[in-house]
Amino acid sequence: MTIVFTLEIHYEQDVVQARQRTRDIAEQLGFDAQDQARLATAVSEIARNAFQYAKGGTVEFCVVGEPQTFLIRIQDRGEGIPHLAEVLAGRYTSDTGMGLGIMGSRKLMDLFEIESLPPEGTTVVMSKKLSKRTPSFTDSQLQQIRERVMERSPQNPYQEIQRQNQELLRAMAELRKREEELIQLNRELEDTNRGVVALYAELDEKADSLQKANELKTRFLSNMSHEFRTPLNSILSLSRMLLARMDGDLTAEQEKQVTFIQKGASGLSELVNDLLDLAKVEAGKIEVRPSSFEVSDLFATLRGMLRPLLVQGSSVALIVEEPDGIGQIYSDEGKVAQILRNFVSNALKFTEQGEVRVSAVQRGHTVTFSVSDTGIGIATADVERVFEDFVQIESSLQKQVKGTGLGLPLSRKLTELLGGSISVTSKLGQGSTFTASIPIAYPHATDFPSRLQPIASLEPTGLPILAIEDHPETLFIYEKHLQESTYQLIATRTLAQARLVLQQVQPAAIMLDIMLEGQNGWTFLREIKGDETTCNIPVLVITIIDNEKQALALGANGFLIKPVDRLQLLNKLNTLINQNKPQKILLIDDDPAYRYLVKQLLINTQLSILEAMNGWEGLNLAQREQPTAIVLDLEMPELSGFDVLNQLKSNSVTESIPVIIYSSAQLDAEMQSQLAKKSIAILSKETGSQTAAMSDDKPLRVYAQLQDALIKAGLVLDACGQSHV
């Protein structure tokens, strides 16, 4: 920061001089006449307040930052501004007009910050960025500007008033000119609007006709589908009865004829079902029933469901890959399964040999399901046509397989209904890959299944985090991020709900989305930081727009841009909540080699590491030292890790300390489940000697697991994995 000029305000003419000096410096810094007037007006208003209410002050003109900014700081030692929050919100009125100058000055500047601490005085910092066309000023150039400004003698106040009047006259002339231009533009718009209104009327008439035709088509398809279903079901049932010989034996010729009837009825039934689904989607009557499900469970169901599609003796292998690292999805499981069935059925029809592979991968907040085959492929010109209703591409296999041409169009409509999209890549003779990208949380859900606790029944060991977010899918993601950590989520979708929560609970931190529909998050942030009962609660602003400076200036303690990943969010919360708190880890393990291994993994951190060689010593240290987290072995003599864990959780002094199980004990599913309820994470010790454990890339894997567990336990780790106190 380079100080260009400093001015003391003792007399009323000093306010006029502050205005003059502002204009002179702004002119030297390359601001145009309009910005010079804005800067001079804003400074004179705040300087006048300092003289009028504090009997004087100091005006400091600086050039800061890169790109450079003209910054003015005005300080006084008065009694401060009462009701500052009301003034900044535009709700305060007084006989003197106090607050109008502040509000007007704030509108004229790029940045405006004010701090008033009765009876210490008031500091106002305001700035405006230099033009991008203006080259950066060096220190020597700024010194020259300072000397030129000092050489200029202040103008007579009457001359300044005359100049101010001239500026007002120019501004009024400019406004009058713009008003005339607006009047002319309004006339032109009125003429244009008449034509647009006529065009809209014609378009509305045609749109109504198309809508009626579409409704008639949809109603016809729906009614006909229902009408066809009853006789088709009867035909299928009767043909199954005949083929089962329930009414006597059939000749070979009769069996062949009935089989043809059954296949024809099955094809018609498939067509009718697809038509009915399409009609429902187009009419907006199909219902999405979202629920939480695991992709691994969906694939397990698909394996059994799709196996009958393989022709016996076929040279095509159907491979369903085990999904890795994909959490729960909140969507319509039945419709996702229907999309994949259509993909797989289509792939099997047009693959003579090789494989059809089903897989899934999570990217951010989306899961992409893929079905790849080694079939005949699709020509580039036909790729988009396969998604048109009833279109079937001519090929050598098309005559051998029967289809409706509705499977892929229906899959696209169902995917879009779930908030996703479909894509395809294909090469003739090499195969095709169809992908459906679906959000992990159905975007139009009004209610999410959640383990979020009612306020009255919050877990005593979990720190409450208040989230204020109007998008339910984002709240769902936050819940998954905080799952199994030392925190528990209180989800609210409006500021009114958040205020009710704050009346009942003092959260450890607040996660606030500023961009709330129909609500002012900035006002809420000022309200939180201006209330003595909530001002000490850390506020983490999480939004889609990079307005970090504004958030921090209004009192936010942290800032993140959406989307945020789990470790990033947990680490930020840990930093805000545990700031300036000592961080200690207690290792309870009778094996000195493993205690040494953990210490070596954390050697570059600033954590205080306590050691206990048995369970009794560990319990005493935990109660006396109150560590941030405990790393516990299960297999120890005298007092086992199981008993230590039970005693820790039954003691009110230690029950809230997060515990990380780090053991080589073989645990069955039931024991895993029991331990998971009392611990943050369960890690497996590396087998072999210390030397073997420290070889190759094992330390990296072990440390990655330990780092993840420590962050979930509330410890602060930076991007490099190092801990902060």
pLDDT digits (tens, 9 = 90+) for 395-443: 555 455 555 566 788 888 888 888 899 999 988 888 999 999 998 888 7
Q: How far apart are CA 506 and CA 532, in angstroms?
A: 13
Amino acid at 46: I
How confident is the prediction for the chain on average, in pLDDT? 80
Mean pLDDT of 149-162: 67
Structure tokens of 491?
């989800």
Q: CA 566, CA 270: separation in Å to the nearest integer?
A: 44
pLDDT of residue 62 exceeding 90, the answer is yes
Give the pLDDT confidence score for residue 691 in this predicted structure: 39
Asked if 355 and 369 count as a contact pair (C-beta separation under 8 A), the reply is no
For position 723, what pLDDT does the model report?
43
Mean pLDDT for 232-251 is: 76
Q: How far is residue 550's CA from residue 113's CA, in Å, rounded to a whole number?
A: 10
The single-letter DSSP state of residue 281 is: H
Between residues 313 and 239, the one the model is more confident about:
239
Angle ∠(527,529,533) on CA atoms, nearest 5: 90
Given a cut of 60, whether residue 725 has pLDDT beyond it is no
Which of 244-253, 294-303, 401-410, 631-640 is predicted least confidently? 401-410
CA distance 422 to 369: 10
CA distance 196 to 294: 52
* Measured distance CA(17)–CA(157) in Å, rounded: 8
DSSP string over 208-222: HHHHHHHHHHHHHHH
Give the three-state DSSP class for 448.
coil
Q: Is the pLDDT of residue 292 over 50?
A: yes
Looking at residue 29, its amino acid is L
Question: Which one has a higher pLDDT value, 720 or 16?
Answer: 16
Q: CA end-to-end span of the chain, whole Å?
A: 31
Segment 92-140, tens digit of pLDDT: 776 655 556 788 888 889 999 998 887 788 999 999 999 888 888 988 8
Give the pLDDT confidence score for residue 695 in this predicted structure. 45
Do residues 373 and 336 make contact, with C-beta atoms less than 8 angstroms apart? no
Contact between 45 and 105 under an 8 Å Cβ cutoff? The reply is yes
Per DSSP, which regions of 462-583 are E strands? 463-468, 487-492, 509-512, 539-543, 558-561
Q: Range with the lowest mean pLDDT among 75-79, 304-308, 576-580, 587-591?
A: 304-308
pLDDT at residue number 720: 40
pLDDT at site 94: 64
Instruction: For residue 451, report the phi and psi dihedrals to the nearest 5 degrees.
Output: -95, 20
CA–CA separation, 282 and 410 (whole Å)? 10
pLDDT band with cut points at 50, 70 and 90 for residue 664: confident
- Tell which wins on pLDDT, 253 or 509: 509
Q: Within 10 Å of residue 73's Cβ, how many Cβ atoms?
A: 18
pLDDT at 264 over 80: no
**Type of residue found at 194:** R
Instruction: Identify which has the larger pLDDT, 535 or 545.
Output: 535
% of the chain residues with pLDDT over 70: 81
- Here the tokens at position 130 are 């230099």
Predicted pLDDT of residue 395: 58
Average pLDDT (502-516) is 89
Length of the chain: 725
Question: What whole-number distance in Å separates Cα of residue 550 and Cα of residue 467?
Answer: 20
User: What are φ and ψ of residue 199, in 5° steps?
Assistant: -65, -45
pLDDT at 721: 42
Least confident of 10-24, 229-243, 558-572, 695-709: 695-709
Q: Check pLDDT > 80 for residue 571.
A: yes
Q: The whole model's pTM is what?
A: 0.44
Which uninterrupted H or E stretch holds 368? strand 366-373
Q: Which residue has the higher pLDDT, 241 or 402?
A: 241
Burial class (CB in 10 A: 0-12, 13-18, 19+), 707: buried
Burial 367-384 (b: 16+ CB within 10 A, else e): bbbbbbbbbbbbeeeeee
Mean pLDDT of the region 442-465: 65
* Cα four-point dihedral sign 706, 712, 716, 717: positive
Report residue 384 as tokens.
Answer: 């988009």
Sign of CA dihedral 131, 134, 139, 144: negative
688 pLDDT more than 60 = no
Per-residue pLDDT band for 14 (boundaries 50, 70, 90) equals confident
Res. 701: pLDDT tops 70: no
> Is the pLDDT confidence value at 268 over 70?
no
How far, in Å, CA of 305 to CA of 315, rounded? 19
Residue 363 dihedral angles phi and psi, to the nearest 5°: -125, 105
Angle between helices 592-601 and 698-712 (to 10 degrees): 80
Count Cα neighbours of 249 within 13 Å in the Cβ-side half-sphere.
2
- E strand or H helix that includes residue 296: helix 295-306
In this prediction, residue 451 has a pLDDT band, given cuts at 50, 70 and 90, of: very low
Contact 330, 445 (CB under 8 A): yes
157, 52 in Cβ contact below 8 A? no
Q: What pLDDT score does 719 carry?
A: 41
Omega of the bond leading into 472 within 30 degrees of 0 (cis): no
Listed range (7-11, 179-183, 366-370, 569-573) with the worst mean pLDDT: 179-183
Centre a 10 Å sphere on the Cβ of residue 561 and count the other Cβ atoms it contains: 13
Treating both helix axes as pointing N-terminal to C-terminal, what angle do 698-712 and 566-577 enclose, rounded to 10 degrees? Answer: 50
Nearest to 328 by CA among 303, 362, 355, 300: 362
| Dihedral sign (CA 553, 558, 564, 568) | positive
**466 pLDDT band (50/70/90 cuts)?**
very high
Task: Supply 47's token pair.
Answer: 């300087």
Q: How many CB atoms lie within 10 A of CB 650?
A: 9
Q: Which range is most confident: 575-584, 619-628, 685-694? A: 619-628
CB 109 within 8 A of CB 127: yes
